[in-house]
Amino acid sequence: MVKKVALYVRVSTARQAAHDVSIPDQIKQAHAYCQKKGWEIAGEYIEPGASARNDKRPIFQKMITDCCQDPSPFDIVLVHSLSRFFRDAIQQGLYKRKLEDHGVLLKSITQHFGEGPQADLIQTVIAACDAHNSAETAKHVSRSLIENARQGFWNGSVPPIGYRTYVAEMRGEKQKKKLEIDPHTVDIIKLIFNLFLEGSDTSGPMGIKNITEYLNIRKIKTKTGGDFYKSSVHNILTRTAYIGTYYFNKHLSRTRKLKPREEWVAVPTPPIITKERFEKVQRFLRLRSPKVIPPGYVTSPVLLSGIACCHNCGGRMMIVTGKNGRYRYYSCAKRQLKGRTTCDKPASIPEKKLNDIVTKSIMDRVLVKKRVRKLLKEVFNKARVQNKSAKIELKVLRRNLKAMDNKIAILFDSLTDGLVKDGDSFKIHHQKLERERAELKHLIKTKAQSLKLPGGGDISDQQLSGFAKAFKKMLESGPIAFRKEYMRLLLSRLDVSKKEVMISGPKAALVMAIGSKKVMAGGVPDFNREWWVW
């Protein structure tokens, strides 16, 4: 029976793929080798520009997926040398075993080891040597790049948006490049900072999401011609290159963790933004961080801070005072901070009056048995459908967790069997698997909590009455921090105009509140994102 072969061909960088002859040569040798052996190449997997020090290779992963079908369409994975498959002894051993579990053998054109335990030992030694050579090469390349940066030259291909490279000097045939301002994209950088700090003609200062939408709606493109993402806008707003200093060697190449500050290399760049404006942006970013804002709302003495909005312009409302602080009003923040041109019909209402209107509306219109039952009926119908889907997803997540546990067990089996020679590689790979395992457990916990939303109408009259009584008591006379958190169980937004107040909030929150032991006990919900239902 003719052996079916999956050919895997790889070079390390995209530049090699574009200018090297390695890929065509590997393919040519593989075809000649298979013809001599009488094998049939049933699939070719070509990876142009990917390191073999990890498994983050899309073509490699597609090949592994194709090979691990039952039954597998391949008998052999063929590579020019084992270094094309992996330069990490541990991962090579793991993927080799995974292939063998599906009846697929790993073969090399230039390295012949035979079969059996002795062949496995030789392969492990070769893989360890490849890993060592790769690490040594990376060390020397890193040293030369760091020195290049110390001399003020640019390392890399595509510079940050707002800059372009130019050849500063020639050393033999080697071009040494530096950054200069790109007149075609520099205005985009200035625009993003202006939108964040001052806003546009039709709005006040914008957040990262609104800036992203603003740029994409107007077809303003990135340097590579793509759309902007929130992450790319955030990177622009925090990149120190725009005030005159780019830092090289900040992160570990494999884990992306920050290196110690003393290892960073400062490379001077032409400034685009003033230092004062840049630092102002950083202060606002810290203040707007999700880790900072919610505790700020909790400690604020304003009951409806963060949810009361001006119906006319959609902006938030703030507290303003009159008569030396004797009178306090909720008023349109845009009108107060930006002037009358930003909102021609601003909402303004005494603080106590709005607090009383909202509190009374919740107690008289929402927390009544008839309305609660009606809301519950709708939510329960949706919950049954959602719970069914969530149970399927939870089953898949638990299956993935079991597979991850098996991976970790195999990893330690490899250590016990003597297949692992590189302790550092073992540690890095084990930490990676443990992080993925922890993430799966977190997803399982979150999904399981979502199933706690009641899926049937089994809330008793006593529970409803107890819930309403406890809620009303806290809304009327509880401490401000408690009242604010209870408000947010039911309210997501208040639209305030001169004539009316429109209250809105998610129905599911009411159900979660009824089932909360903290509400029934008169406690306050923790600031824990897993707890929140919106």
Query: Residue 243 above 90 pLDDT?
Result: yes
Q: Which residue has the higher pLDDT, 359 or 201?
A: 359
Query: Residue 509 above 70 pLDDT?
Result: no
Q: Which residue has the higher pLDDT, 423 or 397?
A: 397
Q: What is the pLDDT of residue 114?
A: 63
Q: What is the mean pLDDT of residues 382-393?
A: 70
Q: What is the pLDDT of residue 165?
A: 92
How is residue 421 written in tokens?
């020679």
How is residue 254 written in tokens?
């494999």
Q: What is the mean pLDDT of residues 10-37?
A: 76
Q: Are 530 and 446 within 8 A, CB to CB?
A: yes
Distance from C-alpha of 432 to C-alpha of 503, rounded to nearest angstrom: 46
Q: Could you tell me the pLDDT band of residue 519, with boundaries at 50, 70 and 90?
A: very low
Alpha carbon of residue 163 to chain centroid:
26
CATH 3.40.50.1390 in the chain, residue ranges = 4-143
User: What is the end-to-end Cα distance of the chain in Å, rounded?
Assistant: 60
Instruction: Say which range, 237-241, 367-371, 410-414, has the weakest mean pLDDT.
Output: 367-371
> Does domain 4-143 sit in CATH 3.40.190.10?
no
Distance from C-alpha of 471 to C-alpha of 518, rounded to nearest angstrom: 11
Q: What is the pLDDT of residue 289?
A: 63
Q: What is the pLDDT of residue 384?
A: 67
Place of tokens 């001399």: 151
Query: Residue 126 above 80 pLDDT?
Result: no
Q: Which residue has the higher pLDDT, 170 or 126?
A: 170
Query: Residue 527 above 90 pLDDT?
Result: no
Query: Residue 522 above 50 pLDDT?
Result: no
Q: What is the pLDDT of residue 533?
A: 28
Average pLDDT, the chain: 78
CA distances from 72 to 65, 110, 514 (A): 10, 25, 53
Q: What is the pLDDT of residue 41?
A: 93
Q: What is the mean pLDDT of residues 84-95?
A: 81
Q: Are 195 and 228 within 8 A, CB to CB?
A: no
Place of tokens 């609104």: 210
Distance from C-alpha of 457 to C-alpha of 64, rounded to nearest angstrom: 48
Query: Residue 456 above 70 pLDDT?
Result: no
Query: How is domain 163-288 classified at the architecture level of CATH?
Result: Alpha-Beta Complex (3.90)
Instruction: Compute the chain's Rg from CA coordinates.
Output: 31
Q: Could you tell me the pLDDT band of residue 530, with boundaries at 50, 70 and 90?
A: very low
Q: What is the pLDDT of residue 18?
A: 47
Q: Could you tell me the pLDDT band of residue 379, with boundaries at 50, 70 and 90?
A: low
DSSP 8-state assignment for residue 364: I
Number of alpha helices (DSSP H) and beta strands (DSSP E) in the chain: 19, 14
Of the spans 165-174, 180-189, 289-298, 311-320, which averages the highest pLDDT?
Answer: 180-189
Distance from C-alpha of 517 to C-alpha of 45, rounded to nearest angstrom: 56
Distance from C-alpha of 307 to C-alpha of 315, rounded to nearest angstrom: 10
Q: Which residue has the higher pLDDT, 458 or 261?
A: 261
Q: Are 456 and 275 within 8 A, CB to CB?
A: no
Q: What is the mean pLDDT of residues 475-504?
A: 76
Q: What is the mean pLDDT of residues 128-149?
A: 74
Of the spans 115-124, 236-245, 311-320, 465-474, which averages the highest pLDDT?
Answer: 236-245
Percent of the chain with pLDDT over 90: 21
β-bridge mates for residue 54, sequence order = none
CATH 3.90.1750.20 in the chain, residue ranges = 163-288
Q: What is the pLDDT of residue 239?
A: 93
Q: What is the pLDDT of residue 299?
A: 46
Q: What is the pLDDT of residue 277?
A: 92
How is residue 445 written in tokens?
């916990």
**From edge to edge, which strands make up the β-sheet containing 348-350?**
317-322, 327-332, 348-350
Q: Tell whether omega for the bond before 205 is within 30 degrees of 0, i.e. cis.
A: no
Q: What is the mean pLDDT of residues 253-258?
A: 73
383 CB neighbour count, 10 Å cutoff: 20
How is residue 23 written in tokens?
């890929």
Q: What is the mean pLDDT of residues 385-398?
A: 76
Distance from C-alpha of 249 to C-alpha of 143, rounded to nearest angstrom: 10
301 CB neighbour count, 10 Å cutoff: 11
